[in-house]
Amino acid sequence: MPLTSLAVKLRTITQQPYRTDMMATTPRTASLLTLALLGAWASQPARADTPPASEDWNVKAQTTYIWQKKPAFNARYSGDNSLVAESEKSYSFSATLFAGLRLGENTEAYYNPELVQGQPMSHLTGLGGLTNGELQKTSGAHPKLYRARLFLRHNWALGDEREQVESDANQLGGSRPKDRVVLTAGNLAVSDIFDANSYAHDARSQFMNWALLTHGAYDFAADTRGYSIGAALEYIRGDWALRAGRFELPKVPNGQSLDTRLFSHHGDQIELERSYALGGQSGKVRALWFRNTAVMGRFDDALDQAGATPAIADTALVR
């Protein structure tokens, strides 16, 4: 029988007063409105001892609206990349459709169209960690529709034991091999697979700050909106997981157009993961290595050139 569910969630976050070297502000309130529309095809309720049937397909959706405002503040100096001293308002709206299709017992395909709209503060400059991670996707006050993800996932079983998987966005409900090798290839976000932190990973439902989408030092391959094209292979057995992947980098840093020369310009990462239980609490320890290979400018060269000109240091000029 068809099953359709609707979940509406309203969350208001009030942040305490804060200070930085550049400004002092009064308390700031950021309001996050998340509307999740979930639709799935479900079979008749099964008995408690009967595993649920596998989904052949599912469709889910999520929309997120974030509004922020900052008051005016005094600034002794303002440059091209400074936070604007005047009062500003900012918002972002994003809507994503998550469609999944089972192609075989262990093969799945996923497609995610996405619609975004927004207005950033200070043209996304002036802060080391921008206060709204969703603004990386927006391109102005007019709605923009694009393909966010289109990828395949295949599992190879390393044994007969299987585990249950709940229906979710980009995850068909049913079962999968407990010990397995997983190939994921296509258009997706590197962070869909690597550094999958349960608490600081998604600006839509967790910390909104741009710096907390992953740990701050992880400069993974992505276009302006946070997506790339490539492949990742995972070896999962027991409490251990080993992952490796290669993805396309943008042609210019933080650019939208990706460099398709995957063998010469790419972002590589390897991650080792160990699950554990301590004091009745479960957790995971991860070690991540990454390396980006591209035509880049050196910061010391840019600083030397800026000092000799003089001008604002720009790595694009020494690339």
| Tens of pLDDT, residues 113-135 | 999 999 999 988 888 888 999 99
| Alpha-carbon span 177 to 203, nearest angstrom | 31
Per-residue pLDDT at 22: 32
What is the rounded average pLDDT of the residues 37-47?
39
Residue 279, classed as helix, strand or coil, is coil
Residues in a beta bridge with 33 = 10, 65
Identify the weakest region by mean pLDDT among 30-39, 57-66, 215-224. 30-39
Does the pLDDT value for residue 298 go beyond 90?
no
Neighbours of 112 (CB within 10 A): 23
Per-residue pLDDT at 50: 55
Please report, in angstroms and rounded to a whole number, the separation of the first and last CA atoms in the chain: 59
**Cβ pair 134, 92 in contact under 8 A:** yes
What is the rounded average pLDDT of the residues 80-95?
92
Give the start-to-end residue ranges of the domains of the chain.
Answer: 2-294
Mean pLDDT, the chain, integer: 83
High-pLDDT (> 90) share of the chain, %: 59
> What phi and psi, each to the nearest 5 degrees, are found at residue 251?
-65, -35
47 vs 305 pLDDT, higher one: 305
